[in-house]
Amino acid sequence: MKYEYIDQAFIDNLPTPTDKIKAEYRADNLPKGFRIEIRNTSKGIGTYRFRTKDKDHHLGRTNTISLEQALQQTTQLIPSAAPPHNSLLPPIVQTPPTCALTLNEFWEQYYWPHIKTRLRTFRNIESMWRLRIKPIFGKQRLDDIKVLELERFQTSLIEKRLSGSHVTGHIKLISRMFTLAIQWELITKNPCDKVEYMKFDNQKERFLSTEEQKRFIEVLMLHPQRPVNLLMIFLLVTGVRSGVAKALKWSWINMDKQIITVPPSIAKNKKQNTIFLNTTAMDILKRLAGTDPTYVFINPMTHLPYNDFKKSFKTALKAAQISDSVRIHDLRHTFCSNLVSSNVSLASVQQLANHACYSTTLRYAKVSQDTLRQACQIAAIEI
Protein backbone atom coordinates (compact mmCIF):
# COMPACT_ATOMS: atom_id res chain seq x y z
CA MET A 1 0.00 0.00 0.00
CA LYS A 2 1.42 3.38 -0.95
CA TYR A 3 0.83 6.64 0.91
CA GLU A 4 1.64 10.25 0.13
CA TYR A 5 3.86 10.38 3.19
CA ILE A 6 4.87 8.27 6.16
CA ASP A 7 6.37 9.67 9.37
CA GLN A 8 7.31 8.38 12.83
CA ALA A 9 3.75 8.89 14.08
CA PHE A 10 2.59 6.43 11.40
CA ILE A 11 5.27 3.94 12.48
CA ASP A 12 4.21 4.26 16.14
CA ASN A 13 0.65 3.30 15.16
CA LEU A 14 1.48 0.88 12.36
CA PRO A 15 -1.73 -0.64 10.92
CA THR A 16 -1.84 -4.42 11.33
CA PRO A 17 -3.48 -6.28 8.41
CA THR A 18 -6.56 -8.31 9.26
CA ASP A 19 -7.60 -9.64 5.85
CA LYS A 20 -4.21 -10.94 4.72
CA ILE A 21 -1.01 -12.43 6.12
CA LYS A 22 1.32 -9.50 5.35
CA ALA A 23 1.13 -5.84 4.34
CA GLU A 24 3.78 -3.53 2.88
CA TYR A 25 3.72 0.26 3.25
CA ARG A 26 5.54 2.67 0.94
CA ALA A 27 5.33 6.45 0.56
CA ASP A 28 6.22 9.20 -1.88
CA ASN A 29 8.43 10.89 0.72
CA LEU A 30 10.54 7.75 1.22
CA PRO A 31 13.33 6.44 -1.08
CA LYS A 32 12.37 4.12 -3.90
CA GLY A 33 12.72 0.54 -2.70
CA PHE A 34 12.20 1.47 0.96
CA ARG A 35 9.19 -0.11 2.66
CA ILE A 36 7.80 -1.24 5.98
CA GLU A 37 6.52 -4.80 6.21
CA ILE A 38 4.13 -6.04 8.90
CA ARG A 39 2.44 -9.41 9.45
CA ASN A 40 -1.00 -9.95 10.93
CA THR A 41 0.57 -11.74 13.94
CA SER A 42 3.16 -9.09 14.83
CA LYS A 43 0.90 -6.85 16.99
CA GLY A 44 1.80 -3.52 15.41
CA ILE A 45 5.55 -4.16 15.06
CA GLY A 46 6.93 -4.10 11.53
CA THR A 47 10.25 -4.43 9.71
CA TYR A 48 12.12 -1.78 7.71
CA ARG A 49 13.37 -3.16 4.37
CA PHE A 50 15.22 -1.63 1.44
CA ARG A 51 15.61 -3.28 -1.95
CA THR A 52 18.67 -2.52 -4.07
CA LYS A 53 19.60 -3.96 -7.44
CA ASP A 54 21.45 -6.90 -5.87
CA LYS A 55 19.76 -7.53 -2.52
CA ASP A 56 16.72 -6.99 -0.32
CA HIS A 57 18.15 -5.52 2.91
CA HIS A 58 16.72 -6.05 6.40
CA LEU A 59 17.25 -2.75 8.26
CA GLY A 60 15.64 -3.50 11.62
CA ARG A 61 12.36 -3.74 13.54
CA THR A 62 10.17 -0.70 14.09
CA ASN A 63 10.25 -1.18 17.86
CA THR A 64 14.07 -1.11 18.01
CA ILE A 65 15.06 1.65 15.56
CA SER A 66 13.29 4.82 14.44
CA LEU A 67 12.30 5.72 10.92
CA GLU A 68 15.13 8.27 10.82
CA GLN A 69 17.70 5.61 11.78
CA ALA A 70 16.36 3.25 9.11
CA LEU A 71 16.61 5.98 6.49
CA GLN A 72 20.20 6.71 7.56
CA GLN A 73 21.04 3.05 6.90
CA THR A 74 19.35 3.37 3.52
CA THR A 75 21.56 6.29 2.44
CA GLN A 76 24.63 4.11 3.05
CA LEU A 77 23.20 1.40 0.78
CA ILE A 78 22.40 3.69 -2.15
CA PRO A 79 25.29 3.46 -4.66
CA SER A 80 26.86 6.77 -5.62
CA ALA A 81 28.87 7.60 -8.69
CA ALA A 82 32.66 7.38 -8.08
CA PRO A 83 34.73 10.48 -8.95
CA PRO A 84 37.15 10.30 -11.91
CA HIS A 85 40.47 8.67 -10.99
CA ASN A 86 42.57 11.62 -12.21
CA SER A 87 40.35 14.27 -10.65
CA LEU A 88 42.32 16.98 -8.86
CA LEU A 89 39.22 18.60 -7.40
CA PRO A 90 38.79 18.32 -3.62
CA PRO A 91 35.87 16.20 -2.44
CA ILE A 92 32.60 18.08 -1.99
CA VAL A 93 31.55 18.22 1.64
CA GLN A 94 27.78 18.45 1.92
CA THR A 95 26.67 20.40 4.94
CA PRO A 96 23.10 20.00 6.14
CA PRO A 97 20.87 22.92 5.20
CA THR A 98 19.96 25.37 7.92
CA CYS A 99 16.48 26.82 8.30
CA ALA A 100 16.00 30.40 9.48
CA LEU A 101 12.24 29.94 9.76
CA THR A 102 10.72 30.00 13.21
CA LEU A 103 8.08 27.42 13.98
CA ASN A 104 5.45 30.18 13.95
CA GLU A 105 6.58 31.37 10.51
CA PHE A 106 6.50 27.79 9.24
CA TRP A 107 2.96 27.41 10.61
CA GLU A 108 1.68 30.59 8.99
CA GLN A 109 3.45 30.27 5.63
CA TYR A 110 3.37 26.51 5.07
CA TYR A 111 1.56 24.26 7.52
CA TRP A 112 -1.72 26.10 8.18
CA PRO A 113 -2.48 26.77 4.47
CA HIS A 114 -1.70 23.10 3.83
CA ILE A 115 -3.98 21.49 6.44
CA LYS A 116 -7.02 23.79 6.45
CA THR A 117 -7.98 22.56 2.97
CA ARG A 118 -7.12 18.91 3.62
CA LEU A 119 -8.07 17.91 7.19
CA ARG A 120 -11.54 17.93 8.70
CA THR A 121 -9.99 18.31 12.17
CA PHE A 122 -8.09 21.50 11.30
CA ARG A 123 -9.98 23.52 13.95
CA ASN A 124 -8.86 21.13 16.71
CA ILE A 125 -5.30 21.30 15.37
CA GLU A 126 -5.37 25.11 15.32
CA SER A 127 -6.58 25.12 18.92
CA MET A 128 -3.71 22.88 20.11
CA TRP A 129 -1.22 25.05 18.25
CA ARG A 130 -2.55 28.41 19.50
CA LEU A 131 -3.12 27.46 23.14
CA ARG A 132 -0.05 25.36 24.01
CA ILE A 133 2.50 24.85 21.24
CA LYS A 134 2.90 28.39 19.90
CA PRO A 135 3.59 30.02 23.31
CA ILE A 136 6.45 27.54 23.96
CA PHE A 137 8.04 26.93 20.55
CA GLY A 138 6.59 29.60 18.23
CA LYS A 139 9.62 31.92 18.32
CA GLN A 140 12.24 29.15 17.99
CA ARG A 141 13.87 28.23 14.70
CA LEU A 142 12.98 24.80 13.36
CA ASP A 143 16.54 23.50 13.59
CA ASP A 144 16.99 24.84 17.16
CA ILE A 145 14.21 22.81 18.81
CA LYS A 146 15.76 20.02 20.90
CA VAL A 147 14.53 16.62 22.03
CA LEU A 148 14.90 17.57 25.70
CA GLU A 149 12.64 20.60 25.21
CA LEU A 150 9.97 18.39 23.63
CA GLU A 151 10.23 15.87 26.48
CA ARG A 152 9.80 18.66 29.04
CA PHE A 153 6.85 20.04 27.06
CA GLN A 154 5.20 16.62 27.14
CA THR A 155 5.82 16.41 30.90
CA SER A 156 4.19 19.82 31.43
CA LEU A 157 1.07 18.65 29.57
CA ILE A 158 0.90 15.55 31.78
CA GLU A 159 1.19 17.71 34.88
CA LYS A 160 -1.75 19.80 33.63
CA ARG A 161 -3.78 16.55 33.75
CA LEU A 162 -4.56 16.45 30.05
CA SER A 163 -5.77 13.10 28.77
CA GLY A 164 -3.17 10.71 27.38
CA SER A 165 -4.46 11.04 23.82
CA HIS A 166 -4.43 14.84 24.13
CA VAL A 167 -0.82 14.84 25.38
CA THR A 168 0.47 12.64 22.55
CA GLY A 169 -1.69 14.60 20.10
CA HIS A 170 0.41 17.72 20.75
CA ILE A 171 3.68 15.89 20.14
CA LYS A 172 2.30 14.21 17.02
CA LEU A 173 1.23 17.59 15.67
CA ILE A 174 4.75 18.97 16.12
CA SER A 175 6.18 15.80 14.58
CA ARG A 176 3.87 16.14 11.58
CA MET A 177 5.05 19.72 11.07
CA PHE A 178 8.69 18.59 11.09
CA THR A 179 7.94 15.71 8.73
CA LEU A 180 6.42 18.05 6.17
CA ALA A 181 9.32 20.48 6.61
CA ILE A 182 11.66 17.60 5.75
CA GLN A 183 9.48 16.57 2.82
CA TRP A 184 9.58 20.16 1.53
CA GLU A 185 13.39 20.17 1.96
CA LEU A 186 13.50 22.92 4.59
CA ILE A 187 15.24 20.80 7.26
CA THR A 188 16.82 17.36 7.45
CA LYS A 189 15.77 15.85 10.78
CA ASN A 190 12.79 15.51 13.06
CA PRO A 191 13.59 15.82 16.80
CA CYS A 192 10.24 14.20 17.66
CA ASP A 193 11.59 10.87 16.38
CA LYS A 194 13.59 10.56 19.60
CA VAL A 195 10.76 11.59 21.95
CA GLU A 196 9.39 8.77 24.09
CA TYR A 197 5.63 9.04 23.78
CA MET A 198 3.47 8.81 26.88
CA LYS A 199 1.93 5.37 27.35
CA PHE A 200 -1.77 5.44 28.13
CA ASP A 201 -4.93 3.35 27.91
CA ASN A 202 -7.70 5.29 26.17
CA GLN A 203 -10.21 2.45 25.93
CA LYS A 204 -13.27 3.78 27.70
CA GLU A 205 -15.73 0.95 28.19
CA ARG A 206 -18.94 2.69 29.21
CA PHE A 207 -22.21 1.20 28.02
CA LEU A 208 -25.71 2.04 29.12
CA SER A 209 -27.28 -0.86 30.96
CA THR A 210 -30.69 -2.17 29.92
CA GLU A 211 -32.32 -0.23 32.75
CA GLU A 212 -30.42 2.97 31.89
CA GLN A 213 -31.45 2.67 28.26
CA LYS A 214 -35.09 2.27 29.30
CA ARG A 215 -35.00 5.38 31.51
CA PHE A 216 -33.10 7.36 28.87
CA ILE A 217 -35.66 6.61 26.14
CA GLU A 218 -38.59 7.31 28.49
CA VAL A 219 -37.17 10.77 29.22
CA LEU A 220 -36.63 11.52 25.52
CA MET A 221 -40.11 10.35 24.55
CA LEU A 222 -41.72 12.79 27.00
CA HIS A 223 -41.19 15.31 24.18
CA PRO A 224 -41.17 13.25 20.96
CA GLN A 225 -41.79 16.36 18.86
CA ARG A 226 -38.27 17.60 19.59
CA PRO A 227 -35.94 16.58 16.71
CA VAL A 228 -32.92 16.46 19.05
CA ASN A 229 -34.65 13.82 21.20
CA LEU A 230 -35.33 11.69 18.14
CA LEU A 231 -31.72 12.25 17.06
CA MET A 232 -30.39 10.79 20.31
CA ILE A 233 -32.64 7.73 20.05
CA PHE A 234 -31.54 7.34 16.42
CA LEU A 235 -27.90 7.22 17.54
CA LEU A 236 -28.70 4.55 20.12
CA VAL A 237 -30.59 2.22 17.76
CA THR A 238 -28.35 2.56 14.67
CA GLY A 239 -24.86 3.04 16.14
CA VAL A 240 -24.20 5.75 13.58
CA ARG A 241 -21.57 8.35 14.47
CA SER A 242 -23.00 11.68 15.65
CA GLY A 243 -21.22 13.60 12.88
CA VAL A 244 -22.95 11.48 10.25
CA ALA A 245 -26.34 11.83 11.95
CA LYS A 246 -26.03 15.63 12.17
CA ALA A 247 -25.16 15.82 8.46
CA LEU A 248 -27.75 13.21 7.40
CA LYS A 249 -29.61 14.13 4.20
CA TRP A 250 -32.82 12.66 2.83
CA SER A 251 -31.04 12.00 -0.48
CA TRP A 252 -28.82 9.43 1.27
CA ILE A 253 -31.80 7.37 2.47
CA ASN A 254 -33.54 4.59 0.58
CA MET A 255 -36.79 4.05 2.48
CA ASP A 256 -37.73 0.98 0.42
CA LYS A 257 -34.45 -0.87 1.07
CA GLN A 258 -34.22 0.64 4.57
CA ILE A 259 -30.59 1.72 4.22
CA ILE A 260 -28.53 4.90 4.37
CA THR A 261 -25.62 5.37 1.99
CA VAL A 262 -23.05 7.68 3.59
CA PRO A 263 -20.76 9.37 1.01
CA PRO A 264 -16.96 9.06 1.42
CA SER A 265 -16.62 12.79 2.09
CA ILE A 266 -18.59 12.37 5.34
CA ALA A 267 -17.55 8.87 6.43
CA LYS A 268 -14.70 8.61 8.92
CA ASN A 269 -12.89 5.93 6.90
CA LYS A 270 -13.24 8.00 3.68
CA LYS A 271 -15.19 5.16 2.07
CA GLN A 272 -18.84 4.86 1.15
CA ASN A 273 -20.64 3.33 4.14
CA THR A 274 -23.99 1.58 4.33
CA ILE A 275 -26.16 1.99 7.43
CA PHE A 276 -28.98 -0.51 7.92
CA LEU A 277 -32.19 0.79 9.44
CA ASN A 278 -34.30 -1.16 11.92
CA THR A 279 -37.99 -0.53 12.67
CA THR A 280 -37.23 2.08 15.37
CA ALA A 281 -34.98 4.05 13.04
CA MET A 282 -37.60 3.88 10.28
CA ASP A 283 -40.26 5.14 12.70
CA ILE A 284 -38.06 8.13 13.60
CA LEU A 285 -37.51 8.98 9.93
CA LYS A 286 -41.24 8.80 9.21
CA ARG A 287 -41.90 11.18 12.11
CA LEU A 288 -39.45 13.68 10.65
CA ALA A 289 -40.52 13.38 7.03
CA GLY A 290 -41.49 16.73 5.58
CA THR A 291 -39.75 18.89 8.20
CA ASP A 292 -36.98 19.91 5.78
CA PRO A 293 -36.34 19.07 2.13
CA THR A 294 -32.59 18.52 2.57
CA TYR A 295 -31.56 17.52 6.09
CA VAL A 296 -33.21 15.00 8.42
CA PHE A 297 -32.43 16.49 11.83
CA ILE A 298 -33.08 20.25 11.84
CA ASN A 299 -32.76 22.56 14.83
CA PRO A 300 -36.14 24.37 14.99
CA MET A 301 -34.44 27.43 16.53
CA THR A 302 -31.90 27.97 13.74
CA HIS A 303 -33.61 26.03 10.92
CA LEU A 304 -30.20 24.48 10.27
CA PRO A 305 -28.68 21.06 11.05
CA TYR A 306 -27.58 20.63 14.66
CA ASN A 307 -24.06 21.88 15.28
CA ASP A 308 -23.88 20.67 18.89
CA PHE A 309 -26.39 19.03 21.22
CA LYS A 310 -24.25 18.19 24.26
CA LYS A 311 -26.37 20.40 26.53
CA SER A 312 -29.56 18.55 25.55
CA PHE A 313 -27.76 15.23 25.98
CA LYS A 314 -26.53 16.08 29.49
CA THR A 315 -30.02 17.32 30.45
CA ALA A 316 -31.55 14.02 29.33
CA LEU A 317 -28.91 12.04 31.27
CA LYS A 318 -29.67 13.99 34.43
CA ALA A 319 -33.41 13.47 34.07
CA ALA A 320 -32.83 9.74 33.52
CA GLN A 321 -30.54 9.60 36.59
CA ILE A 322 -27.52 8.51 34.54
CA SER A 323 -23.97 9.67 35.31
CA ASP A 324 -22.93 12.77 33.35
CA SER A 325 -19.63 11.01 32.56
CA VAL A 326 -21.47 9.24 29.74
CA ARG A 327 -20.56 10.69 26.34
CA ILE A 328 -22.61 10.92 23.15
CA HIS A 329 -20.23 8.42 21.54
CA ASP A 330 -21.13 5.92 24.28
CA LEU A 331 -24.49 5.50 22.53
CA ARG A 332 -22.50 3.90 19.71
CA HIS A 333 -20.69 1.71 22.25
CA THR A 334 -24.06 0.67 23.66
CA PHE A 335 -25.38 -0.21 20.20
CA CYS A 336 -22.44 -2.58 19.63
CA SER A 337 -22.76 -4.01 23.14
CA ASN A 338 -26.47 -4.71 22.61
CA LEU A 339 -25.65 -6.66 19.45
CA VAL A 340 -22.94 -8.75 21.11
CA SER A 341 -25.12 -9.39 24.17
CA SER A 342 -27.81 -10.73 21.79
CA ASN A 343 -25.29 -13.21 20.33
CA VAL A 344 -24.82 -11.35 17.05
CA SER A 345 -21.53 -12.45 15.50
CA LEU A 346 -18.60 -10.03 15.70
CA ALA A 347 -18.31 -10.16 11.90
CA SER A 348 -21.87 -8.82 11.63
CA VAL A 349 -21.17 -6.18 14.29
CA GLN A 350 -18.14 -5.04 12.30
CA GLN A 351 -20.27 -4.50 9.20
CA LEU A 352 -23.18 -2.86 11.03
CA ALA A 353 -20.84 -0.43 12.82
CA ASN A 354 -18.68 0.11 9.70
CA HIS A 355 -15.45 -0.64 11.56
CA ALA A 356 -12.47 -0.69 9.19
CA CYS A 357 -10.54 -3.13 11.40
CA TYR A 358 -11.74 -6.22 13.26
CA SER A 359 -9.65 -5.16 16.26
CA THR A 360 -11.83 -2.05 16.57
CA THR A 361 -14.90 -4.24 16.83
CA LEU A 362 -13.27 -6.24 19.62
CA ARG A 363 -12.58 -2.99 21.46
CA TYR A 364 -16.02 -1.45 21.11
CA ALA A 365 -18.18 -4.53 21.35
CA LYS A 366 -17.55 -5.51 24.95
CA VAL A 367 -20.03 -7.83 26.61
CA SER A 368 -22.22 -6.00 29.11
CA GLN A 369 -21.99 -6.77 32.82
CA ASP A 370 -25.62 -7.96 32.84
CA THR A 371 -24.75 -10.59 30.23
CA LEU A 372 -21.68 -11.67 32.19
CA ARG A 373 -23.76 -12.03 35.36
CA GLN A 374 -26.26 -14.23 33.53
CA ALA A 375 -23.45 -16.32 32.04
CA CYS A 376 -21.82 -16.68 35.45
CA GLN A 377 -25.10 -17.91 36.93
CA ILE A 378 -25.03 -20.92 34.60
CA ALA A 379 -22.22 -22.36 36.72
CA ALA A 380 -24.21 -22.03 39.96
CA ILE A 381 -25.26 -25.19 41.83
CA GLU A 382 -27.55 -25.82 44.80
CA ILE A 383 -25.81 -26.62 48.07
Residue 93 lies in a domain: no
> How many domains does the structure of the chain reveal?
3
Both 116 and 244 in one domain: the answer is no
Both 234 and 319 in one domain: the answer is yes
R_g over Cα of the chain:
26
In this structure, the number of other CB atoms found within 10 A of the CB of residue 124 comes to 13
Both 47 and 129 in one domain: the answer is no
Q: Pick from 146, 166, 194: which residue ends a domain?
A: 194
Cα separation, 37 vs 208, in Å, equals 40
What's the pLDDT at 80? 55
Residue 265 lies in a domain: yes
Q: Using CA atoms of 83, 88, 90, 92 in order, give the dihedral in degrees to the nearest 10.
A: -30
pTM: 0.56
What's the pLDDT at 169? 92
Which DSSP string corresponds to 277-325?
--HHHHHHHHHHTTS-SSBSSEETTTTEE-S--HHHHHHHHHHTT--TT
Q: Pick from 194, 224, 254: which residue ends a domain?
A: 194
Both 237 and 144 in one domain: the answer is no
Supply the CATH number for residue 54's domain: 3.30.160
Backbone angles phi, psi at 368, to 5 degrees: -70, 160
Residue 142 lies in a domain: yes
HEC profile for 42-53?
CCCCCEEEEECC
Backbone angles phi, psi at 288, to 5 degrees: -95, -5
Supply the CATH number for residue 237's domain: 1.10.443.10
Both 62 and 167 in one domain: the answer is no
What's the pLDDT at 77? 81
Residue 97 lies in a domain: no
Q: Pick from 40, 61, 77: which residue ends a domain?
A: 77
Instruction: Note down pLDDT in tens along the chain; length 383 residues.
Output: 788 788 888 888 888 887 788 889 888 888 888 999 998 887 788 899 998 888 888 888 888 888 888 888 888 887 654 444 444 444 544 444 556 889 999 999 999 999 988 887 888 899 999 999 999 999 999 989 999 999 999 999 999 988 888 899 999 999 999 999 999 888 989 999 999 887 766 566 678 999 999 999 999 999 999 999 999 999 999 999 999 999 999 999 999 999 999 998 888 877 899 999 999 999 999 999 999 999 999 999 999 999 899 999 999 999 999 998 899 999 998 998 888 888 888 888 888 988 877 777 776 555 556 666 777 888 888 88
Which DSSP string corresponds to 145-161?
--HHHHHHHHHHHHHTT
Both 38 and 186 in one domain: the answer is no
Both 172 and 50 in one domain: the answer is no
Both 60 and 142 in one domain: the answer is no
Both 268 and 350 in one domain: the answer is yes
Residue 90 lies in a domain: no
Both 174 and 224 in one domain: the answer is no
H or E element in which residue 2 lies = strand 2-3
What's the pLDDT at 165? 84
Both 244 and 313 in one domain: the answer is yes
Residue 51 lies in a domain: yes
Both 137 and 230 in one domain: the answer is no
Domain membership of residue 156 as a residue range: 103-194
What's the pLDDT at 205? 65
What's the pLDDT at 83? 45
Residue 84 lies in a domain: no
What's the pLDDT at 253? 96
Residue 87 lies in a domain: no
Supply the CATH number for residue 166's domain: 1.10.150.130
